[in-house]
Amino acid sequence: MREVVEVLENNRVAKNVHTIRFRWKRDARPGQFVMVWIPGSGEVPLSLSYVGDIKGITVKVVGETTEKIARLKTGERFGIRGPYGNSYSYANKILVIAGGTGMCSLAPAIEMARVNYKVAFIKVFFGAKSAEDLFMLDRIEKFADALVIATEDGSLGKKGLITDFALPEIKKGFYDIVWTCGPEAMMIPIVKKCLAEGVNVEASLERYMKCAIGVCGSCAIGRFLVCKDGPVFDTKILSEIINGLGKVRSPSGRLIDYAEQS
Amino acid sequence: MADIGVEVCGIRLKHPVMLASGILGISAETMKRAEEGGASAVITKSFSIEERAGHENPTIALFKHGILNSMGLPNPGARAMAKEIEKAKKMCRVPIIASVFGKDADEFVKACEIARDSGADAVEINLSCPHVPGTGMELGVDPNAVKEIVTEVKSCIDLPVFVKLTPNTHALQKIALMAVEGGADAIVAINTVRGMLINPMMKKPELSTIFGGYSGPGILPIGIYCVYTIYSAVGQSVPVIGVGGICRGMDAIQYFMAGASAVQVGSAVYYRGYSAFSEIANEIETFLENEGVNSIRDIIGIAVR
């Protein structure tokens, strides 16, 4: 039976991006996700963007169900199950590379790295199309040692793709781990560079899901299931599945290009 | 040492615990994963001639005694699945059994022919999915339709044909007999049990399709009963393969004692992880050894003879 929670607040944090806060007494770790159910509309996987007693999801409107989630008002209810999946590993010096809503799962990890793990150094690269697509900048500045922003239109921070600025940071010897979450076209060169340089990397992947409990196979990449073995994959697994990245399964299970998915 | 090897329709299995259809079997790599978890054979996800997206989410609801699902037979279509089977045949040592469905005998035959050409070791025809209109159990509760489909499939392919039946009927013995008359080489029972859950707080069904199919520990007694009743009707002519709610070796043992020659495991992957197959096989072996039983053959139907 799905649990039902009540919206405490809904804040628009960027263009078409909303953060919904709700009280949910489940232990959760950054990187984990939940299945959010809007009766009559659908159920979608969403990363937890806050993992304390008052949880949060940060959702970008991409379809009917995410639009309904983004429009939830204080006091309204939604169904939830989870949390599912694994989380990031902490190390002393962390490089974080986020693209767009990839920051949803990384922001609580950055916060936990500083507050709970008291890591020595966290540098964050955060990219998006435009300034209006960026969010949680105050939160990241508060917990990270350095923040580099890049937008494709140059409306905030450096102009260009975040990989233009983040890739040169990936060199053997300084960072103990690289965390990345965002569009796959962004993550593929990051993972490849990390593998080539011998730098530890963890990438959080997103796939269409049905069961979310490791049985149906909808989210399979190679022999791994994103819902059960991921969504955060480590260096060893990434080196095995790197050639399968950029392809996702449509609801039928057919492999299609990442960019083709609706 | 107890012998837990079995032979079903001429297919040798190192132990009787196979992967049931619908779980993991979407690609060669996930089938390989089931093999690594110990499955002695792999049944693919059910596929049809044409690609199907399946039902809208939510397609799953969890509760205390099991899992309710209405995946809606999502599959990339027979051609794409054939490629996965070809690849799986190269990657895996265990038999690969293709599960197929269609809306009529003609579609079943076409899907089975593609399965045969892909190198599948057998086909399992799905006459039992309880949540897709026009196929599955809608055909599988009609004894004449069952006979017709099985007859057509048997006349077109020379692979062993497993027929997977639904518990959602009062006429299970008749249906099983008609499947055997049509030439079925084995009967597989059961598919999921029709069921429904409502979320009281939202005042809505938990599945987008309102109802779905119930699997997991709660359906164990239903499956054991169905195997018993089928075994009573056809047990001398074809093997019965038991499936439904098996999570422990002792669950499988009950299926054997009701008349099953082998078993399939699905939802246990959720409860016990991917090594469920080898764990259940080990538990079966331990039970047989403790009881001084030499072979699974010696206990098949022992409780109901």
Domain harbouring A75, CATH code:
2.40.30.10
Instruction: Report if residue B138 sits inside a domain.
Output: yes
pLDDT for the residue B57? 96
Q: Say if residue A108 is in the same domain as residue A238.
A: yes
Q: Say if residue A64 is in the same domain as residue A119.
A: no
Among A243, A226, A220, residue whose Cα is nearest residue B27: A220
Q: Say if residue A160 is in the same domain as residue A43.
A: no
Q: Say if residue A193 is in the same domain as residue A133.
A: yes
Query: What residue numbers bound the domain in which B178 lies?
Result: 6-299
Instruction: Report if residue B201 sits inside a domain.
Output: yes
pLDDT for the residue A13? 97
Last residue of a domain, one of A42, A63, A84: A84
Q: Say if residue A42 is in the same domain as residue A131.
A: no
CA distance B192 to B167: 8
- A215/B267 Cβ within 8 A: yes
pLDDT in tens, B201-210: 999 999 999 9
Q: Say if residue A161 is in the same domain as residue A184.
A: yes
> Mind telling me how many Å the CA of A37 is from chain B's nearest CA?
7
Beta strands in chain B (DSSP E): 6-8, 11-13, 17-19, 42-43, 60-63, 66-69, 96-100, 122-126, 161-165, 186-189, 193-196, 198-199, 204-205, 211-215, 240-243, 260-265
3-state DSSP assignment of residue A220: strand
pLDDT for the residue A42? 96
Last residue of a domain, one of A39, A67, A84: A84
- A252/B199 Cβ within 8 A: no
The complex scores an ipTM of: 0.94
| Segment-wise mean pLDDT, segments of 10 residues, chain A, 262 residues | 96 97 97 97 97 97 96 98 97 97 98 96 98 97 98 97 96 94 96 97 96 95 96 98 93 89 66
Query: What residue numbers bound the domain in which A35 lies?
Result: 3-84
pLDDT for the residue A262? 59
Length of chain B: 305
Distances from the Cα of B163 to the Cα of B126, B136, B198, B262, angstroms = 7, 11, 32, 14
Q: Say if residue A175 is in the same domain as residue A67.
A: no
CA distance B83 to B85: 5
pLDDT for the residue B163? 98
Give catalytic status of residue B129 as yes or no: yes
Q: Say if residue A114 is in the same domain as residue A226.
A: yes
> For residue A231, how far is the Cα from the chain centroid?
9
Instruction: Report if residue B290 sits inside a domain.
Output: yes
- A211/B60 Cβ within 8 A: yes
Q: Say if residue A104 is in the same domain as residue A59.
A: no
Q: Say if residue A125 is in the same domain as residue A44.
A: no
- B74/A218 Cβ within 8 A: yes
- Residues from chain A that touch B24, judged by Cβ atoms under 8 A, are 215, 217, 220
> Among A24, A46, A211, A218, which would you mutate to test the B interface (most chain B Cβ atoms within 10 Å of its Cβ)?
A211
CATH code of the domain covering residue B87: 3.20.20.70
CATH code of the domain covering residue A144: 3.40.50.80
Q: Say if residue A124 is in the same domain as residue A57.
A: no
3-state DSSP assignment of residue A65: helix
Query: Which among B9, B92, B112, B129 is annotated as catalytic?
Result: B129
Could you give the number of structural domains in chain B? 1
Spell out which chain B residues touch chain A, with contact meaning CB-CB distance below 8 angstroms: 22-27, 29-30, 32-33, 45, 51-54, 56-63, 67, 69, 71, 74-77, 80, 197, 199, 201-202, 204, 206, 208, 266-267, 269-270, 274
CA distance B95 to B85: 10
pLDDT for the residue B244? 98
- Residues of chain B scoring pLDDT < 50: none
Could you give the number of structural domains in chain A? 2
CA distance A231 to A238: 12
pLDDT in tens, A230-255: 999 999 999 999 999 999 999 999 99
Length of chain A: 262
Instruction: Report if residue B116 sits inside a domain.
Output: yes
Q: Say if residue A239 is in the same domain as residue A169.
A: yes
Last residue of a domain, one of A84, A113, A136: A84
Q: Does A75 touch chain B (CB under 8 A)?
A: no
Instruction: Report if residue B304 sits inside a domain.
Output: no
pLDDT for the residue A172? 83
- Residues from chain A that touch B52, judged by Cβ atoms under 8 A, are 252
